[in-house]
Amino acid sequence: MISNTIQTVRHAFQALQQRICSHLEAEEKKKTFQQQKWSYPTGGGGDSRILSFGALIEKAGVNFSHIEGPSLPPAATLKRPGLTDQPFQALGVSVVVHPQNPYIPTSHLNIRLISVQRADQSIAWWFGGGYDLTPCYGFTEDCHDWHMTASQTCQPFGADVYQQYKKNCDQYFYLPHRQETRGIGGLFFDDVNQWEFERCLQFVTAIGNSYLSSYLQLIQRRKTHQYGPNEKQFQRYRRGRYVEFNLLYDRGTLFGLQSQGATESILMSLPPSVEWQYNWGLHPGSIEENFSKKYLKPTDWLNPKFASNTQRSTL
């Protein structure tokens, strides 16, 4: 892949990083992202930006990386054994936001490009990424709007794109040992190279922009919702599931650690406070039990019955 094409992706990803940081800082008002740049052992590096313990955001990471090396880590070549021991470049933006208010969902975005130079000097490349939403309290209209934005963003790229990537997300962000999804899903895609390169870049850029607009809408909708110690405890309990997924199953975490990237940046997705209690039972009939039973499974959130008012919904 020629260098100016890589630079086009780099500039697009860095612009997205800056845009997300600026909007989150505008919401937070009194806190700003702290920046740390790091170098990768075999070439390139990253720009990690972290905001901690604000009035609205308990922890947010918005990271950019562009690394290169002599061989992809095993997590990236499992499905591509023909690309082992070939030089690569990987560029990406990773975002995780853990809010203070339990009624504002945790959100995650990742977009990335990987290119590999084969032995015959040809280039293999593919984009990947997606976004998903992890609420602690269920509002069906929030789920509907989140997925409606995802569907509308995918529509120009094909009638079946949303349904396929939504299905991928439901399957990927699943904790088999808990028999539940991590949250209410969104989009997940890998091996995106079915269009021309420029079209693929347009797609992942559109995904990044739609994540920002959709999540800002939810922040505005839920940030004044009152909460107390019980809601914070349930938030920490649900964050435990988030940690379990990221440390046990997340391929991005595995890729980062195997590639010997910046460990603090790789693990920035973990929340600052979390709680496990042995065999913790939810109160029968409670809102928390209702959420755990009804929201943590694949659902057709585009069904018009979910596009209701902003009262707490129970399906």
**Comparison of pLDDT for 281 and 234, the residue scoring more:** 234
Query: Looking at the domain assignment, is residue 152 inside a domain?
Result: yes
- Which residue reads 């989009």 in tokens? 187
Query: Looking at the domain assignment, is residue 312 inside a domain?
Result: no
Quick one: pLDDT at residue 311? 44
Report how far Cα 197 is from the mean position of its chain's Cα atoms.
Answer: 23
pLDDT digit string (tens) for 264-304?
888 888 999 999 988 888 889 999 999 999 999 999 999 99
Quick one: pLDDT at residue 37? 95
* CA separation, residue 9 to residues 26, 64, 89, 255 (Å): 26, 12, 12, 20
Checking if the pLDDT of 253 tops 60, the result is yes
Checking if the pLDDT of 259 tops 80, the result is no
Query: Looking at the domain assignment, is residue 233 inside a domain?
Result: yes
Checking if the pLDDT of 3 tops 70, the result is no
Query: Looking at the domain assignment, is residue 107 inside a domain?
Result: yes
Instruction: Report the domain count for the chain.
Output: 1
Give CA torsion, residues 245, 216, 234, 51, to 10 deg.
70
Q: Which residue among the candidates 11, 23, 66, 108 is catalytic per the annotation?
A: 108
Query: Looking at the domain assignment, is residue 289 inside a domain?
Result: yes
Mean pLDDT score across all residues of the chain: 92
Query: Looking at the domain assignment, is residue 292 inside a domain?
Result: yes
Work out the pLDDT band at 128, boundaries 50, 70, 90. Answer: very high
> How big is the CA angle at 70 (ends 67 and 74), to the nearest 5 degrees?
85
Quick one: pLDDT at residue 224? 96
Q: Report the CATH number that the domain containing residue 195 is assigned in CATH.
A: 3.40.1500.10
Look up residue 280 and give its DSSP letter: P
**Averaged pLDDT for residues 141-168:** 98
Is 11 among the residues known to form the active site?
A: no
pLDDT digit string (tens) for 89-112?
999 999 999 999 999 999 999 999
pLDDT digit string (tens) for 176-204?
999 999 999 999 999 899 999 999 999 99
Query: Looking at the domain assignment, is residue 146 inside a domain?
Result: yes
pTM comes to 0.93
Quick one: pLDDT at residue 254? 80
- Interhelix angle 140-154/161-172, rounded to 10 degrees, is 130
Which percentage of the chain shows pLDDT scores above 90? Answer: 77
Residues ≥6 apart with Cβ < 8 Å to 258:
73, 74, 75
Q: Which tokens sit at 129? A: 């990424």
Quick one: pLDDT at residue 262? 77
- Domain residues for the domain of 206 are 3-26+48-306
**CA–CA distance, 275 with 54 (Å, rounded to integer):** 20
Query: Looking at the domain assignment, is residue 175 inside a domain?
Result: yes
Checking if the pLDDT of 312 tops 90, the result is no
